Chains A and B, each alone.
Chain A
Amino acid sequence: EVQLVESGGGLAKPGGSLRLSCAASGFTFTNAWMSWVRQAPGKGLQWVGQIKSKTGGGTTDYAAPVEGRFTISRDDSKNTVYLQMNSLKTEDTGTYYCTRDWSGPGDYWGQGTMVTVSS
């Protein structure tokens, strides 16, 4: 059974940092492309970024609002993908989901972790 479990959310001040983790199980993680998707409270879904598998080049892509502030990485030995969020803004507040990507983002989703950016 595919499982994705996010952690690391919480409260951060504007300008601060947080690192989210997503632990994966139930599939061959090394072959998987992974994305992060977020949802502001009461709003729709927004794709944040993606990391390809090492065999796919291991490269990353980001949405414009987070480019240069957020970094996605992966540790295939731990079956984990990370989202390092720096220079946080109040508009980064929301629930962050990691997804396994196959035939596009969102094949499977984690339960999400809440990030609140507030002074």
Chain B
Amino acid sequence: GENVEQHPSTLSVQEGDSAVIKCTYSDSASNYFPWYKQELGKRPQLIIDIRSNVGEKKDQRIAVTLNKTAKHFSLHITETQPEDSAVYFCAATLNAGKSTFGDGTTLTVKP
């Protein structure tokens, strides 16, 4: 089955700095890669996603890049703010909608 590895497990940055989280996946058939933000005790919220026919996608301060050949994708957050502090999960999804999640990255943005 699919295996997703996510790094780093914790990340602390100063407000205004950039944050980068990286994920690798194993199944080349995965074609949809969402990123979720989860605050304590709440549901995961989709913040950005990318499909396998696209290499990069940007939405304001958030961007995602995908390297299909190397089977890795990354989340980039620029100009971080304290409210960006949360746990971020990447996922790799097959056609049937079945997602495998990374272990999560706890991002702390220090004011």
A binds B: no
